[in-house]
Every structure is written in C-alpha cells, then in structure tokens.
C-alpha cells in the first residue's frame, strides 16, 4: 500500500533531514516535516491539532528528547516522561483520527548492557540498560509493548524499528553534544593547517557501527511500505569499523598526514563493541547500504561547504 501523505516528526533531526534529502525517490507523495518549534508533542491537545491539520495517511515518528551523558544524568525524569508522552500522544491521536499507519523509532541504547553480541531484537527486555542513559532507554523500550498493545486491542497498523549509530550531513557538531564521528570531523578540519597532534580518545580499538542517515531513512520507508508485524526490526548496517580506522579515513579524506593522529590512552575507550543483528530485516528487504567511506565523504564535503557560512550547521 502506498501512503500518499506522510507526516514526519523530528523533521529537523539527523534522520528527518536524511529523509528530506531523498524525497525525490518517492514520487507522488507529500511529506510534511515538523519539529519542536511547530508542536510540543508532550501535549496531547497540540499533538491532536497537528495531526488533524495535516490529515496524514501515515506518520514517521522520529522525534525524541535526548542528550549526552551529563544531560541524561541531570534530567532523567524529563527524558522518561517526555519520550513516553510524545509517543503515546501520537498513538492516541493517530488512532482517534484514523491515520492508516504509524512507524515508531526505538533506540539501540535500550538494549541490556550485558546482552549477548550481536544484539537480537528478542534481547530487549533481558536485563538493565546502561545506567548512563537508563531513563531514555526505558522510554524507548516501552515502545515494544506499546506496539503490541495498540495492535492487539485496536487493530492499529503500528510498527517499530531500531536504528544504530546514524551519521550524515546534518550531524550536531557541537563539541559538548556531538557523537564521536562528528567531533573528529570538526576537530581534524579545524586543525588541518596546523602542526598540532590530532587527539582521539582511547586506544582506537573499539568497534562502531554507523549507518548513513539517507540509508536509515530509506530503510524506515521500506518498513512503512512493506512491514506489518508487531516485532520491531533492527534496520541499521552491521558493518563495523574500529575508531582507529574511522579516524584514519577522516584524516585521509581531509588530506591530513595520519602520522599526526594521537590516541590518548589516558581517556576512556568507551564500550568496546555493541553491534546489532539485522539479519531479520535483510532477509525480507534485501536492503543495500551505502559504503561507509562514500557516506563519510559526502558528510565531510557538506561540513566543509557549510562550516564557514554556518548555514544550517550546528557548531
């Protein structure tokens, strides 16, 4: 079934802007991108008014309240409450207004800290998540029983997917908020024409999965069009690269001598490995992911183009 009118919440985030960049791949459809400046999704009346105004056939619920470790530890109740309210308000309003399908975004951070590797969908409730971000993790976990409950009681066509690490052109490059990959791009670029060492935290051995934002958007759209089961899906790539390899590729694309890389082992390595099992998704979708280096090159070129003008870039 082709859904013609699609409301995308979290439209200014990395996944939302990834979808904006590929809307021409879905001719004959109207996409409506909204963000927090358009509606406070924690308020039921505002959520209902928003959905009623657009009359969508489907909703891609990308919106979330999130933050780094410091934010998560300072505002755990806010993260738990706001994320639960946003998703339940969307579900209730979509049900009331007859929206044909809702697609919800979960989080790889919801998996138990001690779950076996690779992370399979059925491990979600088998232990405590990492304490650094437990409130956000539990709010995202709640989407699994929410999907099952709304499908079973109301026959609602609602599904869930799990992204892993997302990177792409519109990443947040602020030093106190950015993910590792974005921080390295900015740091290396700003020191490109100096002789300074290029610091990377840890010894470079931990492995990371990063999925290009346009691929994640394409995969979530595949779920909208082709998936209708209560079991959520891991949809990110399972291609792993070490932090050392990522740092080397960034320096190479910026034409920086890799001998300048400095792995600061006085800093923490972080989690060594947290890869996901996407075999269920791949078996039914036959999805092809953009090679990491291609997505990284696109991301770095975009960053350079926007850095000096500050146009549309979060620094």
pLDDT at 174: 85
CATH architecture of 169-208+239-270+291-307: Alpha-Beta Complex (3.90)
Joined together, the tokens standing for residue 225 give 């069009």
State percent of the chain over pLDDT 90.
85
Side by side, the strands of the sheet bearing 101-105 are 30-33, 5-9, 58-61, 101-105, 158-162, 233-234
- Within 108-242, where are the H helices? 134-141, 143-154, 180-190, 213-226
- Top-level class of domain 5-166+209-234: alpha beta
Show me where the domains of the chain are located. Answer: 5-166+209-234, 169-208+239-270+291-307
Chain centroid to CA 5: 22
What pTM, to 2 d.p., does this model score? 0.93
State percent of the chain over pLDDT 70.
99
pLDDT level of residue 70 (50, 70, 90 thresholds): confident
Residues 33-47, mean pLDDT to the nearest whole number = 97
Cα–Cα distance list, 157 to 33, 100, 220 (Å)? 21, 7, 15
Chain centroid to CA 147: 19
pLDDT at 67: 77
Query: Among the options 3, 111, 136, 150, which is catalytic?
Result: 136
136 part of the active site: yes
pLDDT in tens, 264-298: 999 888 788 889 999 999 999 999 999 999 999 99
């Amino acid at each position: 079934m082709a859904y013609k009118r699609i409301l995308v919440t979290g439209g200014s985030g990395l996944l939302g802007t990834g979808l904006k960049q590929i809307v021409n791949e879905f001719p004959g459809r109207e996409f409506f991108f909204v963000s927090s400046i358009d509606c406070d999704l924690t308020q039921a009346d505002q959520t209902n008014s928003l959905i009623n105004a657009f009359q969508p056939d489907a909703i891609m619920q990308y919106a979330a309240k999130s933050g780094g470790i410091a934010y998560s530890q300072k505002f755990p109740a806010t993260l738990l409450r706001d994320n639960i309210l946003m998703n339940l308000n969307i579900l209730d309003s979509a049900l009331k207004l007859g929206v044909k399908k809702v697609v919800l975004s979960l989080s790889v951070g919801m998996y138990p800290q001690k779950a076996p590797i690779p992370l399979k969908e059925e491990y979600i409730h088998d232990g405590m998540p990492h304490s650094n971000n437990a409130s956000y993790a539990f709010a995202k976990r709640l989407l699994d029983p929410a999907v099952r409950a709304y499908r079973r009681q109301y026959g609602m066509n609602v599904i869930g997917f799990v992204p892993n690490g997302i990177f792409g052109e519109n990443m947040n490059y602020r030093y106190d908020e950015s993910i590792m990959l974005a921080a390295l791009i900015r740091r290396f670029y700003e020191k490109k024409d100096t002789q300074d060492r290029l610091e990377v935290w840890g010894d470079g051995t931990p492995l990371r999965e990063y999925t290009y934002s346009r691929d994640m958007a394409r995969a979530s759209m595949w779920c909208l069009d082709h998936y209708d089961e209560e079991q959520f899906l891991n949809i990110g790539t399972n291609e792993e690269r070490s932090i050392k390899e990522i740092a080397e590729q960034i320096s190479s694309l910026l034409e920086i001598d890799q001998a300048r890389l400095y792995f600061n082992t006085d800093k923490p390595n972080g989690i060594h490995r947290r890869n996901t099992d996407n075999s269920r998704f791949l078996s039914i979708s036959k999805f092809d992911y953009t090679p990491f280096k291609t997505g990284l090159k696109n991301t770095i070129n975009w960053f350079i183009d926007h850095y000096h003008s500050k146009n549309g870039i979060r620094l």
